[in-house]
Amino acid sequence: MKDISEDPEQYLAAATEMLAAEGMGEAAEILRRSTPRFEETGFDNWNGGTAIWKIYLLIEPAEYSKLGTRREGIEEQISARLKPVIEQYTSDWFSVIVAPSVAIRENWREPAEDLPIKTRQNIVDGLRLNSVVWNGRLDEVEFLQRLFDLQKLRSHDSRYKDAAGDIWQHRINNSDWDDDWVYGDTRLSLLNGPSEQFLRFLCEIVHPVVRPDRNEALGLVQQFNDQLRREGWHLVEEERIAGRPRFVAKRFQGTSARSVSRARTVADALDAAWMQKEIERLELSVERDPALAIGTAKELVESCCKSILSKRGIQFSQKADLPELTKLLAKELKLVPEGIADEAKGAETVRLILRNLGSLTQYLAQLRGLYGSGHGRDGKHRGLEPRHARLAVGAAVAFIDFVTDTHHRRSETSAPPNTVAEETTA
């Protein structure tokens, strides 16, 4: 009978192959990257003696924290594939535990590198798939000199004294390097270097001088942010050059990030592509342009109301304003329940909260009229601050989250409408 801790790699390798073959990619990848530690925690004298083991699969703390509630399921998947492998050699009992590795990182009190290689690689892969010319309308030396001192970087070509020379030779004069050479060049270290360096590179790709087509630049920003927001970063508009936005990388503000994340979940649940576009505008404008964020928050609520009403086959006028749409939706979803017994604790409080939630949209529309985008102002007008925009966005998201969840719950308990009504033009 073998001691399973003596040569664990053979068991883990077999289990990894099984997981991959069954489409359990995340569990297979965790098992492949983990550092195993076998710990004997007990011994049972039954049947000649059976050891009891805990198999710890140690992964990076940051990776462990992102697993959340999926961890237990992954442990079960790995354990179920290890069992038929290990039981060929021993009758010992074991359990699998995915755990964070404990090691002291040098200078751990300093900020850690917070933009993982995987996220960077996803962004680069997207640029490759879409055949994006990273240097835009500039030549490559001109583009890179905006970010790096090429005269101080070594040359890979002995004929030239610095990086500027060999980049010119192999990309402009001869063009014998691949178009995407920049992503793997060790002198630039875009994938492995400081996060700030990679983020500045992305901002430069969409700079108005590099990419003057505004729609093209905004499309790339959305693509970048789809990956960056998972790590707490996003590109936001800093200023305008000749009417075109210039972007910088910023960390999410806490409450704003949570609101935007929740809004995306709601839009996904409703399969509402237009809401996703409004959410993108919110994400880019909360800190930079509060007036635009307030106006967009109102439009987001409006889109949500129309989407749910359409899905439930309720007709509405294209000219209907937000309070009208909210009343229609409240009536259809029965947002203020009639069945709460008066003697129930907090019954009146529940009614008040639900009634005020419906009134919230009216206040949001009024706030948009006073301070939001879409209206001319006199020279003495003073706008609101980002904190006010975050309040408006948070209120809007609270509303769409509640009504969407209510819509789905109502749909579960009643047959869905056979047809979706078109909006009337009256």
Please give the pLDDT value at position 309.
92
| Higher per-residue confidence, 85 vs 359 | 85
Starting at the edge strand found earlier in the chain, the sheet holding 50-59 runs: 35-44, 50-59, 93-100
Please give the pLDDT value at position 268.
72
Provide the angle, in degrees to the nearest 10, between the axes of the packed helices 347-371 and 290-311.
130
The model carries a pTM of 0.45
Q: Is 137 left (phi over 0), alpha (psi -120 to 50) or beta?
A: alpha
**For the segment 166-192, what is each residue's pLDDT rounded down to a tens digit?**
999 999 888 889 999 999 998 999 998
**CA atoms of 67 and 73, how far apart (whole Å):** 10
Mean pLDDT of all residues belonging to the chain: 80
Residues above pLDDT 90, as percent of the chain: 28
> Mean pLDDT, to the nearest integer, of 103-129?
77
**For the segment 273-287, what is each residue's pLDDT rounded down to a tens digit?**
778 777 777 766 776
**For the segment 202-225, what is each residue's pLDDT rounded down to a tens digit?**
999 999 999 999 999 999 998 998
From residue 223, alpha-carbon distances to 30, 191, 202, 227, 277 in Å are 27, 17, 11, 7, 12
Q: Are the beta carbons of 52 and 43 closer than 8 angstroms?
A: yes
Q: Residue 162's CB: how many other CB atoms inside 10 A?
A: 14
**Listed residue (297, 292, 217, 284) closest to 253, CA to CA:** 284
Q: Are the beta carbons of 417 and 278 closer than 8 angstroms?
A: no
Whether the per-residue pLDDT at 371 is higher than 90: the answer is no
| In this structure, CATH architecture of domain 9-100 | 2-Layer Sandwich (3.30)
- Spell out the residues 6+ positions from residue 310 whose beta carbon is closer than 8 angstroms to its own: 420, 421, 423
**Listed residue (122, 142, 132) closest to 206, CA to CA:** 132
Whether the per-residue pLDDT at 87 is higher than 60: the answer is yes
Q: Are the beta carbons of 224 and 132 closer than 8 angstroms?
A: no
**CA atoms of 236 and 225, how far apart (whole Å):** 9
**CA atoms of 15 and 404, how far apart (whole Å):** 42
| Higher per-residue confidence, 418 vs 346 | 346
Q: Where are the domains of the chain?
A: 9-100, 117-251, 287-375+384-413
pLDDT-wise least confident of 1-5, 70-74, 197-201, 395-399: 1-5
Beta bridge partners of 60: none
DSSP 336: S
Whether the per-residue pLDDT at 420 is higher than 50: the answer is no
